[in-house]
């Protein structure tokens, strides 16, 4: 399937009912051992967006992921999609494009938005995230030095393989043992919320005719 055909079919599919939790739950990390993380949020979830930005390079359909720097926080050192918290008055698409510009240096005006995946509640950080799917031609990525340690190039069709979903024990937030379904992308372990959202993309694309 050529890139233009793929993205056209994907844009049409994103208008229909999405798998949502059916795609998310198989990738949810499960606590093991006696120390179990507990999260209690007294405030409503904060709105945010992430950007799944498809592009073609040498006949391969790719999209960027970012590795967060090490810091004292819930997502230190993790792999994520470009994205973040919505600013006042923004809609999800505007948030995703702005964050893409800030974190990986793209020109948001050159992104063709195909649609969105299911909203996803990120429990540790109390965010309700909308994944926005778009395309761009010949992107040049420039990582924000404060927010991005590394930009990964993910191969969409590697993600589609039956054996793409792996399992391993990880240590979350430096203290919680978790059995984590994950993808291995560009030498990194992609688990948690990012893996759950990517699994929805995976199921949607695998279902295209």
pLDDT tens by residue, 85-140: 999 999 999 999 999 999 999 999 999 999 999 999 987 678 899 999 999 999 99
H helix intervals, the chain: 3-13, 21-24, 92-104, 156-159, 192-206
- CA quadruple 57, 164, 77, 197: dihedral sign: positive
Q: What is the pLDDT of residue 8?
A: 97
Distance CA 177, CA 183 (A): 18
Distance CA 177, CA 172 (A): 6
Distance CA 110, CA 112 (A): 7
The CATH class of 3-29+44-160+192-206 is alpha beta
* pTM of this structure: 0.91
Match 């024990």 to its residue by tokens: 169
Where do the domains of the chain lie? 3-29+44-160+192-206
H helix intervals, 91-155: 92-104
Strands (E), the chain: 30-31, 46-57, 60-67, 79-80, 83-85, 112-116, 120-122, 127-135, 150-155, 166-172, 176-185, 188-190
| Range 199-204 average pLDDT | 98
pLDDT tens by residue, 153-178: 999 999 999 999 999 998 776 667 88
Q: What is the pLDDT of residue 76?
A: 62
pLDDT tens by residue, 105-118: 999 999 999 999 99
Is the pLDDT higher at 198 or at 2?
198
């Amino acid at each position: 399937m050529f890139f233009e055909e793929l993205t056209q079919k994907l844009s049409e599919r994103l208008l229909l009912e999405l798998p949502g939790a059916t795609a998310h739950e198989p990738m949810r990390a499960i606590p093991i051992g006696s120390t179990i993380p507990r999260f209690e949020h007294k405030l409503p979830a904060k709105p945010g967006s992430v950007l799944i930005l498809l592009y073609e390079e040498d006949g391969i359909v790719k999209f960027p992921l970012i590795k967060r720097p090490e810091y004292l926080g819930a997502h230190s050192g993790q792999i994520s999609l470009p994205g973040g918290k919505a600013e006042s008055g923004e809609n999800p698409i505007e948030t995703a494009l702005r964050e893409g510009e800030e974190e990986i240096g793209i020109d948001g005006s050159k992104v063709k938005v195909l649609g969105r995946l299911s909203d996803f509640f990120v429990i540790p950080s109390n965010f309700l995230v909308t994944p926005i799917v778009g395309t761009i031609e010949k992107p040049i990525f420039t990582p924000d030095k404060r927010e991005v340690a590394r930009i990964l190039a993910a191969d969409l069709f590697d993600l589609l393989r039956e054996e793409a979903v792996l399992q391993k024990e990880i240590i979350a937030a430096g203290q919680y043992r978790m059995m984590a379904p994950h993808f291995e992308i560009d030498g990194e372990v992609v688990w948690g919320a990012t893996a759950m959202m990517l699994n929805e993309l995976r199921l949607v694309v695998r279902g295209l005719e």
